[in-house]
Amino acid sequence: MLTEKEKASLGLLYNNNYDPQLIAERTYCKQMCQQYNQLSVADFQERTELIQRLVANIGENFVIEQPFYADYGYNIQIGHHFYANHNLIILDDAKVTIGNYVFFGPNCGLYTAGHPFDIEQRNSGLEYAYPITIGDNVWFGGDVKVMPGVTVGANTVVGAGSIVTKDLPENVIAAGNPCRVIRTLTPGDTQR
């Protein structure tokens, strides 16, 4: 018989509300986030060390502005040269893989967890978790939310306030609710 954690890792419906292992792991992560969020913004060394203990893997040269929230931490893999502005939320009930040179504006969220449409399943506490993958050189404007199972291709720019419900290809500018491709990036694109 599969554990609730094993069901989650396979993308099956699972219940994390009553499973002692998942409750303990989630509580530990939330305590670490709370500790991180209470550190002095000037204490770069301790902030760095705590994030390195919290997430599964993180590359060189990263900044995660406080506050930061996660569910488990051990499902998060982040590449080199990462920047997240204030209030990044990663509900990492499934694996979250983030490439190199990825930047998040404030109030962004990566949500691997979702709930079934079936009322009885949802009311019984069941949920699902699908992985999120973000390629290299992706920039998310403020208030972007990425939903379960989404892949964002390399070099893509996602406009502020977007709700990303479907995969985005490489080398595009995308925005909206739901997020859609606006156009392909061109060599002439420059900073405003």
Q: Which of 80, 81, 86, 115 is catalytic?
A: 115
- Spatial separation of the C-alpha atoms in residues 102 and 79, rounded to whole Å: 8
Q: Is the peptide bond before 67 cis (omega within 30 degrees of 0)?
A: yes
- Spatial separation of the C-alpha atoms in residues 11 and 8, rounded to whole Å: 5
Q: Which amino acid is at 187?
A: P
Q: Centre a 10 Å sphere on the Cβ of residue 192 and count the other Cβ atoms it contains.
A: 2
* Spatial contact of 58 and 90, defined as CB atoms under 8 Å apart: no
Is 80 among the catalytic positions?
no
Residues forming the active site: 115
